[in-house]
Structure 1
Amino acid sequence: MRRRVDPGSNDVLSIILGGGKGSRLYPLTKDRAKPAVPFGGKYRLVDIPISNSINSDFKKIYILTQFNSASLHLHLSSTYLFDTFSRGFVEILAAEQTFDHSGWYEGTADAVRKNFQHFRTQNPSHYLILSGDQLYRMDLAEMYRRHLESGAQVTIAGTLVTREQATGLGVIRTDRRGFIDDFVEKPPLRQNIEYMRVHPDLLPSNHLQNERRVYLASMGIYFFNADALETALDNSFTDFGNEIIPQLISRGNVHAYIFGGFWEDIGTIRSFYDTSLNLASINPDFNFYDERMPIYTHRRDLPASKYNSSFMQQTLAADGCIITNANIQNSVIGVRMLIESGAELEGVVCMGADYYETPAERELNRQQGIPDIGIARGCRIRHAIIDKNARIGENCSIGYEREGYEDGDYGYYHVKDGIIVIAKNTVLPPESRI
């Protein structure tokens, strides 16, 4: 029988793992930390875990990162401003040299271990560990209550997946009480894991109905009792998923919280691209339009977007865009995006611009022979990601020159996971063919 408890949110410290170099999302991470990558037209990836934590009343939040953190710091400092009565904060803890350690973070567990001196000042009773590159909406307070009721030292959030999806995730098995008794990391299809199927009694009432989703995969979301986390990291292990969690499971007293809603890891270019375009579909898998649990981001006070005689189908457009006589389908258009007459976009993720160019700056562009920020007249673009402040010259063709694109760095553009990526601040000359 579960114990009923009254959790105190002020005793929970949230830690968001910002990742290392973000190589799987390169070149989007060339000039920014992975949590700062723009997403969904107006957000940043880090807004997802921060918003879930705030909506669950966990308002003491640290972001752990070590690469290209300037833009991330600017975003956080201008967005998450708590008053003195809330006792909340969102702060970055970048890798730093001390008398105890002088190197970079060597992994997720190592990043947490090296910051205990900062965490202990908050005197937390529990730690909430979150990833910085996932899309979901979860009542983390409910997970916290379930953790306390179970009496476990650690609770791991799990999502139901198919056998095919399980090949890229850590699969966990529980007993009928929900305690985890086995763990298999990224089992290949040839490996028999029928014994890992989730117990039917544990399926949540709101789980996504799919008879093939019978395995429970770790979401990389953990609740730790404070002393349990310090004990778990009293070693030289560097990674949570591959080392710390399997070790804890082998010792017992690790509980599972089964999450029945949408969850997606968006840590690769392919998953980032597919998940972004899904947001523009008629019935997207993730709902940004939930006012009860909103996703917060930087308030820009931009004007409404303006469309001049354009055709748009299954497309999201953020604030401050000016789109003229364009044909845009199945795309996401970021803030301040200027798209000129005759442009055609299909399956394109545009991240927008950081600023508007003045008439004087546009005239200077003419004199220097460079395009304005945005997408110029007559461009045809499909199956591509256009990063911020890119200058796409007139009559460029992107994604139409051949059927398949081999991964690599091609100067003006990159190809990753078969997706064409125009990096931030790229200047693409008129008439370019990609």
Structure 2
Amino acid sequence: MLSLGRLSWEVRVSLAAAAVLGSMAISRSLGDYFAQQTLVKLFRVQFLLFANCLVSIGSRYIWKRTVSSLQTSCPLSCSGSRCFTAWKVTVSIFLLLAHSSFFTLLTLVSEEPHVFSMVSYTCLGMYIFLIFGLLVLGLLEHCQKLVPFGRVAPSHSRNVVKLLLVLVFTIACTVVGLHNARQPPLVKQVEIPVHKLPQSFHNLRMVLLADIHLGPTVGRTKLEMVVKMVNELNPDIIVIVGDLTDSQVVNLRKATEPLRLLTPKLGTYFVTGNHDYYSVDITNWFKHLQTLKIRPLHNEHVKIYSPSENKDWFCLAGVDDIEAEMLRYPGHGMDLKKALDGCSTNDAVVLLAHQPKAAKRALQSRPDISLILSGHTHAGQIFPLAIAAYFLNPYFEGLYKVGENSLVYVTPGTIYYGIPMRLGSRAEITEIIFKTG
């Protein structure tokens, strides 16, 4: 039998992360044995442990490349100098802040972001840029070793220069990312032909929002800006396609008040995203959203009647996020059959499904769906995360035609998640103009 002691540190941490992930799923099935509040606290602690297990692997790599390698190559007098000690302290504080960003979900979520939350999540963004820079540099070094005339003896000065290059890259990406995230969302108008849509809905205007992520770094002020921009568009209908929140109602009740000011003619509708389930408070969120005049679509549909006072209608349906199944969230999980019960193949159907994976699954079951609106990908939010987001999702950003008559639109998100940066992507408020198709 293989001893755990013989496994590398990275493998052991990965196994610990997998164990925590498994315990998260198991704990969701214990509702009959423990109070809901106890399970909420347990789940949030488990989530933080899981996230920090994964991040700790990268932190060890950063320490090796930015501290250990310098200490190995520099003279003994240098390794004991005040400058080098200060550098080790700086790296330690930076890594500590990056790890602590996840814990702000437990203690620092309120109406507006806390300064510590903004600083720690900024460090988390820098952490991603730094790891990417170090990995690329390491890859280039390995490639150089394969070329006989490109081999150069390692030296302390060369290590310092390489580290400085990575630090310049990290700081530049951070500055640009912070600047981009501070900009208002782009209002993007998209004309979409909806198959089987009655003529009376031609030029109907729908505003699509998603991935607002109220929580440690997004508060009331940003939401007020979004609501004002949406109301200026004077839409007929508004849909919020998941990930509205990263915390519980008790922490964000005041932050959500601007949503009460939305003024669409045909209503505002909401479906869950994976982060809404991570809050472990979805029942209270459903109740609270209804007080804000927002209708949750919990594996159900509504008939949207034409504003021209005739009997034309289309089916607006919404499904729970697919991760509710993995988390074993009681009474939740994507149920397309239930959501479309009453929507025939002769009707125009617009489906709200947070993840593009859910959109793909839905079209495999019901290829007659006219249009699916999704979010989740953030268009990667920051490079290099965009690489993973692109390959892990069947639809990444924008409008896709699937089959003969079905369309999928994926928004890059209305604000951002956690890290207050956008790099290689732009936050978006999507104004969809329905066309009869």
Normalising by structure 1, we get a TM-score of: 0.24
Greater relative contact order, per chain length (Cα 8 Å cut-off, separation 6+): 2
Write 1 or 2 for the structure with the bigger share of helix: 2
Which structure is larger by alpha-carbon Rg, 1 or 2? 2
